């Protein structure tokens, strides 16, 4: 990290500089890009850990003045390039923030989500529905940190935009209700939470289908609410549904790859590219967080269900296999022997033969 102290007399007059995170008067700036400012070292470090390290150099062409254009064609091309760069940063910062949230790193998610919100405003305007995903990540991160009032403010902004947008997609409405469900669950209002999570599942099912991984998050959070209400049978049924969705998704990826890849060397050379096309890092983090949470609950349950537990273990093993963590995939799969649970058909798949080589 390269940090420079600002000299007030050297700053341009009439151009106040503000902190990237809190908006307060700037005292420091990043010495690498020289276009990002902070009020203190703590905010500079927080931004660096969250997202700035990844986007430092990408900010330079966005935050520096345009050169003089000789023609309207050049000016138009320059504006198109700027818009393209901004949209790329919206996507990148959103994915990083989402990944942090799934990993439970809510504090680290905030700076990345704030960047996503600002770039979305720059590209789409302050009232666009494209701002909703950024508001929702900020709300979820704030809820995770216990800052419920702040989470409510972000959700109010998102809800107002959705209400004003007549053609708002089912996917956006699903995410909005999921976050409302999480907020009410954090407040202990379980009935209201279940209502919003049920609405989330409805919209997600309309957008993606009832057995899609995008829908599984609603089932998982609903199961957590029933678990907190001590309604164990309902919670167990929903946890099983979530496991089955991820298990089927990973099985499908492995099946498709096993039909096209014939040798281990071929697999190792292009396997990661094939996987990234199907599941991004945020989805990997979500799957890991959800399946490990379900596994902990299954293992601590008074009444053990070996077959269901083994299904969770196998789904986790497939996840490790697909991200090429083959030693962890093998060790995870070996947690349950073939004799103890009906896992024979899974372990003897062609994918697992490759994994064990």
pLDDT digits (tens, 9 = 90+) for 193-223: 999 999 999 999 999 999 999 999 999 999 9
Averaged pLDDT for residues 332-351: 47
Find the mean pLDDT for residues 31-53: 95
The DSSP code for 4 is: E
Long-range contacts, 201-209 (Cβ 8 Å, 24+): 201/174, 202/174, 203/170, 203/171, 203/173, 203/174, 203/177, 204/170, 204/171, 204/174, 206/170, 207/169, 207/170, 207/171, 207/174, 208/171
Where is average pLDDT lowest: 254-263, 274-283, 331-340?
331-340
Nearest to 86 by CA among 127, 109, 110, 117: 117
Three-state DSSP class for 25? strand
Residue-wise pLDDT for 6-18, tens only, equals 887 667 777 788 9
pLDDT classification of 229: cutoffs 50, 70, 90:
very high
Instruction: Look at residue 280 and tell me whether its pLDDT is greater than 60.
Output: yes
pLDDT of residue 353: 42
Instruction: Give φ, ψ of 40 to 5 degrees.
Output: -155, 175
Nearest to 282, CA basis, from 137, 129, 107, 126: 137
Q: Rounded distance, CA 45 to CA 50, Å?
A: 9
Query: Taking 90 as the threshold, does the pLDDT of residue 345 lie above it?
Result: no
What does the pLDDT look like over 160-173, one tens digit per residue?
999 999 889 999 99
Nearest by Cα to 133 from 89, 185, 171: 171
Strands 3-5 and 37-38: what pairing?
Answer: unpaired
Among 325, 239, 246, which residue's Cα sits nearest to residue 279? 246
Specify the pLDDT at position 262. 53
pTM: 0.86
Confidence class for position 277, pLDDT limits 50, 70, 90 = very low
What are phi and psi for residue 4, nearest 5 degrees?
Answer: -120, 135
Token pair for residue 212? 């899609």
Distance CA 125, CA 164 (A): 14
């Amino acid at each position: 990290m390269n940090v420079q102290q600002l000299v007030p007399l050297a700053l341009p007059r009439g151009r106040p500089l503000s902190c990237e995170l809190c908006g307060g008067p700037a005292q420091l700036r990043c010495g690498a890009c020289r276009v990002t400012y902070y009020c203190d070292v703590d905010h500079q470090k927080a931004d660096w850990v969250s997202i700035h390290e990844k986007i430092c150099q990408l900010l330079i062409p966005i935050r520096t003045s345009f050169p003089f254009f000789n023609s309207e064609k050049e000016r138009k091309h320059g504006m198109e390039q700027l818009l393209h760069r901004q949209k790329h940063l919206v996507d990148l910062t959103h994915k990083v923030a989402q990944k942090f949230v799934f990993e439970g790193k809510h504090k680290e998610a905030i700076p990345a989500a704030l960047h996503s919100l600002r770039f979305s405003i720059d590209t789409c305007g302050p009232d666009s529905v494209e701002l909703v995903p950024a508001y929702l990540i900020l709300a979820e991160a704030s809820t995770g940190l216990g800052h419920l009032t702040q989470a409510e403010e972000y959700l109010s902004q998102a809800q107002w935009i959705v209400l004003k947008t007549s053609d708002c997609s089912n996917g956006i409405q699903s995410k909005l209700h999921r976050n409302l469900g999480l907020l009410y669950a954090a407040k202990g209002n379980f009935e209201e939470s279940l209502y919003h999570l049920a609405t989330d599942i409805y919209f997600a099912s309309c957008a993606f289908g009832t057995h899609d991984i995008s829908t599984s998050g609603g089932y998982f959070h609903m199961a957590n609410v029933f678990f907190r209400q001590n309604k164990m049978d309902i919670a167990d049924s929903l946890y099983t549904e979530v496991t089955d969705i991820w298990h089927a998704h990973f099985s499908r990826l492995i099946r498709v790859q096993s039909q096209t890849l014939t040798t281990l060397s071929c697999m190792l050379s292009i396997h990661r590219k094939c996987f990234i096309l199907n599941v991004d890092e945020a989805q990997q983090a979500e799957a890991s967080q959800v399946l490990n949470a379900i596994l902990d609950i299954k293992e601590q349950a008074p009444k053990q269900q070996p077959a269901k537990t083994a299904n969770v273990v196998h789904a986790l093993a497939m996840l490790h296999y697909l991200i090429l963590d083959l030693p962890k995939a093998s060790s995870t799969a070996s947690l349950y022997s073939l004799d103890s649970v009906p896992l024979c058909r899974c372990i003897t798949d062609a994918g697992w033969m490759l994994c064990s080589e």
